[in-house]
Structure 1
Amino acid sequence: AWLEKTMGTVKRNLERAVPFAMEPVVYDFAINERGTWAELHTGEQALMPPGYYMLTAPALIRHEQRSLSPFRRAEMEAFGVAARTQPKLAGMIQALFDQLLPSREQSDDHHQSLTALLEANGFDRIQHEQIRADLRSGRIGLAQNRLPVRTVIEDVTADDASDVVHLSEQERTRLRKVGLDALAAGAVAVVTLAGGAGSRWTKGAGVVKALNPFARIGGKHRNFIEVHLAKSRRVSRLTGTALAHIVTTSYLTHEPIAEFLRREQNYGYAGPLLLSPGRAVGLRLVPMARDLRFAWEETPQQLLDEQAQKVRESLHAALIQWARQMGEGSDYTDNAALQCLHPVGHWYEIPNLLRNGVLVRLLEERPQLRWLMVHNIDTLGADVDPMLLGWHIDRGAAMTTEVITRRIDDRGGGLARVDGRLRLVEGLAMPREEIEFTLTYYNSATYWIDLDQLLGVFGLTRSDLTDAERVARAVRNIAARMPTYITLKDVKKRWGRGQEDVYPVTQFEKLWGDMTTLPGLDCAFVAVPRPRGQQLKEVAQLDGWLRDGSAAYLETLCEWK
């Protein structure tokens, strides 16, 4: 009993961080003195257990009677008589009907819960209708994700990204002092992006990547959030001023992260630690037939054997017909509420700070706040480096992006000159896949942001942040200038009783790197060492990360409680 209770407690504490296949089980073995034995049942008692018929009877009932063997017909007749007369089989007929004709688990409560979820997470109906109109008109779609083929994408020159590694010692010391002064004044905050599901890491397991105890560091297994707080703790001690730390969340991650931090008492972090709940969510759409054809016919696909290929093509034709019957581009609501929603990309995680009141509260506490360091939850080597902070302040840019030299497994775009303009290019936007491998630098997704200059791009000032309507309008206006990437996702429609179907749906995302395309935003780019900018996107990367010195480098940045 103690072992089962202990295992159950551990599972409850970690079930949002680590995937569990089942409830913990403790086996209590005993010696069977009789060995293997059986009892012979005859007559009306010659029946299998009820569970057997729940598994076999539906398939047999679907067959015509004359196609069954005499033995199977006799078995089903005996089962039918017993189901009407024996108490232990009471309810079997209704259960079989439920198995054969599962009821749709939809009701008015579903639509109410979906509406409530949308409202609670800041669903923007105006933006949604604009995206639907663009999708139906063909302005956006899978094929339109890519830049035009005529676009000239060139690798950067040596002067396009500053290399801080080779700065003189005197210059590094000067810049470090500038950064330390800003940190000591409380003018800096770090923003950790933890709103995504991390599906590449969890393989769709439905857990929160930020809470996953991914590696043994400092003598014990640590999760991503604990590591980032340990880095902020070290910087706080270094400067004598507690560093404000914001963790952005979404409808997928907010409650698990909030509960975890409460239970761990914020890992003893003494500085301001704020959660920034998501204020943007998308409603999935029924896909356009042209997008389904593009995904299945115009992108590379594995060629199957003749019969399997026919089955796949038949399935694709049926799904295209389903999309037409449901209404191409219409709202996808024929499922559980959470299956109808989707994350809208990390572009929204910074605007969420403007909309959810977190930035207002932090500015009230620290009116001197001016600079933000924004980074992904999986960019483990990124810390508030005083020298890099000083470089950003000295440069005076609205946003500085950290880039690293590319390796063959770095996928997702990079730094390039697009028709002569220096900017980040997302992997989804590449006209041809091979262009990405010609780029020297990969985006580490770590950004240094001048708060007031960013607000100016949105057409806002600090005093405007209390005007919710004006902020929402400003965010919507800038979002409309960002590229909209369309993707297809497979969602399961569970009918109950173990039966389910899989349908393709359309969703969109906007990415923060595309801010470098805005003419009014002064952007700079700085090349940093790989251990600082490397991202852990998949568990398969851990072995290399541990061997190449990145884990040892991370330990030097952390101070554990």
Structure 2
Amino acid sequence: LKPVELAEECALAIAYRGLAFQTLADQVRQSVRRFPGNQWMFRTGHLADYPLRLRSELCTSGPFPVLHETTPVRMDLSHSAWSDIFFLAMDYPEGARVINISVDLAVRGTDAATRPPVEAFLRVIDEPVLRLVSVDLGAAVDVSSIEEVFDFARDYLGLLKAAVIASGLIPAGLEGSGQKLADVLARLIGRDGCGIELVSQVNDIPKGSRFAVSTNLLACLISLCMRATGQIRTLTGPLEEDDRRQVAARAILGEWLGGSGGGWQDSGGVWPGIKLIAAEEAGAGDPEYGISRGRLLPRHRLLDEVPAAARRRLEESLVLVHGGMSQDVGPILEMCTERYLLRSGKEWQGRQEAIRLLDELQAALREGDVQRLAALTQANYDGPIQSIIPWAGNAYTEALIAQCRSQFGAGFWGFWMLGGMSGGGMGFVFDPAVRPAALDAMPRILSETKRAMESSFPFAVEPVVYDFTINENGTMAELRQGLDALLSAPYYLLRAPGDLRREARLLTAERRSELTRFAQRYGNQTEALFERMIPKEAESAGSAGTELAELLAANGFDQAAHEQLRADYRAGRVGLAQNRLPANTMIEDVRAEHVAVVTDAEAPVGAAALRDGRLAMVTMAGGVGSRWTKGAGVVKALHPFHRIGGRYWSFLDIQREKARRAGVPHVVTTSYLTYGPIA
């Protein structure tokens, strides 16, 4: 193809890709809005139409009761090659099936017992605001207007805002309506001058864990708000099946309001135990009928046929870990959707193989054959997952698997990838006889492998090993009343320092009473509270300036040039405005005469230059891939990004091989950030 023709075809390909994704996105959005139980929220545009009222049990003052919800996270045995992505499931429902397990977690060696990792609290407060608090993010805000609720970019509390909107607490129809938040809260609570506090807390699970923490937290918050407003029949205890489905549908709505859109299996923690989640074809009367082949919401079936002994054997065999990597799974899901839309033969074959493996996994569960189950999860990872998306695996994960095989031999039964890609949450299945030794060895294996590869991969946290138990309740709620109407200790460690720094007369009577009860209940937190209020100075603070000066001097930092550039920037002599072409600049297409094409007659000239040593190859390797890793410090040149011939190759490996085959000298330029790891 000529350059102009190639450009035109690329532009058409981009346009068709965008159209295909937009068509799929429109299908999901229409189904979300038309789902039974969601429609009223988009039609409520005035205070007089607002239907919700807070349950009377939450409105008794002195002190106000606290509604507390706990939700397990989910781990998936198989997602049938990402078949739960909304786009895929609604287009190919017969192939969309997932085996999903709700689990409680504990960090091994730190936590005393497993517990649901996701918590949320709701209560009435004696201030006319919507107070949103994320304990794990260390963020809090008092929202005083409806406009702020819909401003997701304003702070780090977008997930809580999505829950407030999707639960109907502040329905979508009120956006831009001109209504006052204080009036809505007064109508909701039944009295003036009061507001709502909504608190989220995630315990010891970092971002990118592959346990679907954010979606289960969203579902937890939505369930809590719907219980409090009587949209769910039970105020406390587990949910009934139709309420679970309503919460899951609202969680899908919340994900789309917040700009995400993973898969429908992610809210699996709302349900208890082990379940098969399967898409269903849309029929007459369904909101999706005539829009897509499949329904938005799948059907969850609890696998009661899996005996208690099989569940116990699974707990006795699986070692659950977080490998320390935090990666955005979004590109993986997008690539998976692209390949499905292209209907490539390799993708289709891999998808059918994944569906077949899910049937075998279900049979192994029923029979309690954990060794067979582990062999199947390993085959799923080695086969269809990596044949469809090779980047779902990586050299770090392969190194961990190899060490488990080397150290435990036949006692290591197989690897279990959780979620959309490996490196974060992962499972390693062992013979129960060797599992205690594996539990002791895994922290060392993880730590040593991370240290060896930390310049090549985006590690966010230190790897951890989890204890886990299967959660047989799903999401649960309790009502704390009287002297027990308190939130968690981490909440008070976040919020109490600010209150204690204020004059007592500026605190509400309810807040003063609560601080007194906190001191009585959590007396063992005094040292931690003082640490929050008066942080210890870092021991290395005195040497930080000296280290920086030495680093700048070693890398040729020019103080005079830096000061001149800073002065020019402040004076407006340099900046974004000066880095733009004039408005009258003429930009034209590249013409044929601008393109140099090497002919066969000129090829011997280049070959002679190579042969005589007059050419060299230069690889610039000074960057740390911050855009690619979303800020993690990784030497991009050393990242083993692709497997060729049975081994992973880094960017620098590829360049070295090209130079070797060409027979030319190879020069690698570095920066102070990359010299040490590369050298």
Output the TM-score relative to the length of structure 2. 0.30
Output the TM-score relative to the length of structure 1. 0.36
Higher relative contact order (CA 8 A, sep 6+): 1
